[in-house]
């Protein structure tokens, strides 16, 4: 939680972070009719590696 104070307003921002393993993400996507098509280490397309602190996924509806 943090506060942003600007000249004309103040806002309180709540961040909620959730950590997932690739196995749990794959399972959760599959349970909801999706499959992971591509995975990256970040939003710029860096190759995925298990030690990456972030994950970017491209998923699609399963056939």
pLDDT digits (tens, 9 = 90+) for 31-53: 999 999 999 999 999 999 999 88
Q: Which domain holds residue 33?
A: 21-63
**Residue 26 has which token pair?**
């794959």
Token digits for 61?
């509806």
Give a yes or no: residue 11 inside a domain: no
The mean pLDDT value of the chain amounts to 92
Residue 10 is assigned to a structural domain of this protein: no
- 30 within a domain of the structure (yes/no): yes
Q: Is the pLDDT of residue 9 over 90?
A: yes
Residue 4 lies in a domain: no
Q: Distance between CA atoms of 36 and 59, rounded to whole angstroms? A: 4
Please indicate, yes or no, if residue 51 is contained in any of the structural domains. Answer: yes
pTM for the model stands at 0.65
* DSSP code, position 47: B
Q: Provide φ and ψ at 37, rounded to 5°.
A: -95, -40
* pLDDT reported for residue 61: 96
Q: How many domains does the chain contain in total?
A: 1
Question: Does any domain span residue 2?
Answer: no
More confident: 16 or 41: 41
Q: What is the pLDDT of residue 17?
A: 79
- Tell me the mean pLDDT in the region 9-28: 89
């Amino acid at each position: 939680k943090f506060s942003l104070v600007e000249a004309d307003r103040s806002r309180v921002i709540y961040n909620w972070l959730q950590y997932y393993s690739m196995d749990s993400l794959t399972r959760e996507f599959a349970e909801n009719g999706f499959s992971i098509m591509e995975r990256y280490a970040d939003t710029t397309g860096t190759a995925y590696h298990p030690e990456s602190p972030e994950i970017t996924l491209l998923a699609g509806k399963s056939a």
